[in-house]
Structure 1
Amino acid sequence: MTTPPTLIFHHYPSSPFSEKVRLMLGYKNIPWKSVVIPMVSPKPDLIALTGGYRKTPVLQIGADIYCDTALIADVLEHIQPLPTLYPEPSKGMARILAQWADSTLFQTAMAYNLQPRGLSQLFEHAPPEAAQAFVQDRKAMSAGMARQRPQDATAAYKSYLRRLSDMLDVRPFILGDVPCITDFAMYHPLWFTRVRTSVLAGLLEATPAVLDWMDRMAAIGHGAMEKSSALQAIQVAAASVPAALHDDIFQDEHGIALGSQVVVSAESFGLEPTHGELVAATRMHYTLRRTDERAGLVHVHFPRIGYSLKPGEAA
């Protein structure tokens, strides 16, 4: 019997995208180690693993570093296929709806959640400068992006909640009798409203079917978690070798050969680049090989969708 890999999850408690993955880990009953990272930059211990990517969360398995929750979901599905995140016959619809939830719904919900009252509650037990640091950090990460005003976000959020409620009229989860990737993607921004900025959660009361569904999602839990540290995670990477790559490692859309120095960055939010040697470009993801003085040789993985690949120079 194959020993399951040790999953190290880099996150912080109030991160909505982290809540998405924490629930998926609970749903699949996969044990995991928790490394709590800073909410804002600098994040030197995380960067030692990713090479530049600083968004939250990140999944580490030995010397393999997985960025973005869309890719992390696929990794969890590979490790533990059942219960599946992509049930037939609606797995294509589930992925598309999840992508919408992780972008449009998330951005709308957070524009609502982080209005002054919500921001004040989020940092009510923190020093005064913490909220300002958070605001400046997120402004830097969203440079060039159109920002919704809270008033516009409120109107859109209410409409999205009504539409979600309609989808839950005849079934316990969004696409059927069991959760799928869509449920986890749609849940996490609403979780932030309900749990982290609860002073603003009154708008959820207009859609009781959504609240009932949220209760069912929350009941999944986070599974078996063990605390760890950033230093331990870096030591694990340094003592490990990246997993062998599969044969289907190259689907060329850019005219960039394997072995080339490249840079990968997100297309919208959080544009910090990661430099490395391109060692895989499958139909679903990119893999960069890079070396860090503390973490050693690592493979950093990104999904294709939402990320750009460009020629680069050795860092």
Structure 2
Amino acid sequence: MADGRYDLYGANPSPYSMKMRAVLRYRRLPFAWHAGPGARDIAIAAGLPPVIPVLRFPDGTLLNDSTPLIEALEQRHPAERSLIPDDPGQAFLAFLIEDMADEWLTKAMYHYRWWYEPDRAFAAVWVIGDRMIGRPPGEVERAGRAFIERQVGRMALVGATAENRPTIEKSYLRVLDALEAGLPAQPFLFGSRPSLADFGLFGQLSTLSVDPTPASILRERAPHVLTWLLRLDDSSGVDGDWSAADAPLPAMVRALLQLCGDTYLPFLAANTRAIADGQDVVSVELRGRPYTQAPFRYQAKCYDALRHRFAKLPPPHRQAIVPVLEEAGCLGYLA
């Protein structure tokens, strides 16, 4: 568009939509937010994967998938409130935590939304009601019931099963506990300005902070996390700095990396093996508990991208983060 405006098409109950809206706000890029039922149709019409949000760039280009969108914005606006820490080692850690939020913490979002009855009922109102504003109530209710049935039927596909429930719910609590312990002392993970890791966590937690069951847990267990989410939703007024490259990593970052090392990366590795071996089921032990789900090719791509990104780090920067990755149990899955 001639005025340099971006257009973001998504949905209020979508964690990735909330993530990208917050990113655009922080970066102070002019944009219009289009929340409605047509976002997925826009992606399909453009020949993109049918996922939201979709971002229309000022030149008319349409792209989706939040991490590639963030990287595209970095290329177009390299000196304007970047989300990627200046230090390459810190930048890798930020990408790793963001990936964990996008691909693992989202399991908690999906699990809580469709496992508990109050959350199912609320999701029907929020997700379908948001799409069908102005439609007759009976029509909205019927669509809501059909939507619940469809989403509940997909739970096993993404690993939201009774057997996996303890692992998924514990992961949510570990994220809350890590952030709750660290946020009073430091406003963001890598300094006094937010990184893509902060926004990755924000996307999933912003939804978890609204759905009834996880919201009640968050409010009771992690009140500082709630206020952090409210600030991060529009951080356009935040001006800050990255932590020094040689500064000790905050305990909250180390705790999140520990979750990557004992849960997320072992899952990614098992998923990649299952695909390579032509298996129909990913089966892995995570912290002493069995975990199974269907394999996802996209998550195999995520794993490959993380390993490639680690291998491309300049040797001094790679060596600088080896000790923390080894301590967290991540190194063997990346090297």
- Is TM-score (shorter-chain normalized) higher than 0.5? yes
Contact 2:19 2:203 in 1 (8 A): yes
- What residue number does 1:98 align with? 98
- What residue number does 1:161 align with? 176
2:51 is aligned with 1:55? yes
* 1:34/1:215 CA distance change after superposition, 3 Å: closer
Contact 2:6 2:31 in 1 (8 A): yes
- What residue number does 2:110 align with? 110
Greater share of residues in helix = 2
Aligned length: 222
Contact 1:16 1:188 in 2 (8 A): yes
Q: TM-score, normalised by structure 2?
A: 0.58
- What residue number does 1:305 align with? none
Find the aligned partners of 1:39 and 1:140 in 2 and give their Cα distance.
Answer: 24
2:188 is aligned with 1:173? yes
Deviations 1:152-211 (A, max 9, x none): 23333112211222343531112211111011100111111223x145411112123322
Deviation of the 1:64 alpha carbon:
2.3
* 1:148/1:164 CA distance change after superposition, 3 Å: farther
Q: Kindly, what percent of the aligned residue pairs are identical?
A: 22
Gaps of 5+ in 1: 223-265, 270-282, 285-315
Residue type of the alignment partner of 1:13: N
Which moved further from structure 2: 6-15 or 116-125? Answer: 116-125
Contact 2:43 2:64 in 1 (8 A): no
* The one of 282, 294, 297 aligned to 1:267: 297
Q: Any residues of structure 2 matched to 1:60-209 within 5 Å, and which?
A: 60-61=56-57, 62-81=59-78, 82-89=80-87, 90-114=90-114, 115-124=116-125, 126=129, 127-135=140-148, 137-138=150-151, 144-149=157-162, 151-152=165-166, 153-195=168-210, 197-198=211-212, 200-204=214-218, 205-209=220-224
Greater share of residues in strand = 1
Residue type of the alignment partner of 2:181: D
Find the aligned partners of 2:50 and 2:149 in 1 and give their Cα distance.
Answer: 15
Gaps of 5+ in 2: 130-139, 238-295, 300-307, 310-335
Residue type of the alignment partner of 1:177: S
Q: Any residues of structure 2 matched to 1:245-284 within 5 Å, and which?
A: 267-268=297-298
Contact 1:39 1:134 in 2 (8 A): no
Q: Any residues of structure 2 matched to 1:290-309 within 5 Å, and which?
A: none
Deviation of the 1:15 alpha carbon:
1.2
Deviation of the 1:92 alpha carbon:
1.1
* 1:210/1:34 CA distance change after superposition, 3 Å: closer
Find the aligned partners of 1:35 and 1:143 in 2 and give their Cα distance.
Answer: 31
Find the aligned partners of 2:13 and 2:157 in 1 and give their Cα distance.
Answer: 25
Contact 1:117 1:200 in 2 (8 A): no
Find the aligned partners of 2:123 and 2:142 in 1 and give their Cα distance.
Answer: 13
Deviation of the 1:44 alpha carbon:
4.0
Residue type of the alignment partner of 1:173: F
Q: TM-score, normalised by structure 1?
A: 0.61
Find the aligned partners of 2:35 and 2:46 in 1 and give their Cα distance.
Answer: 14
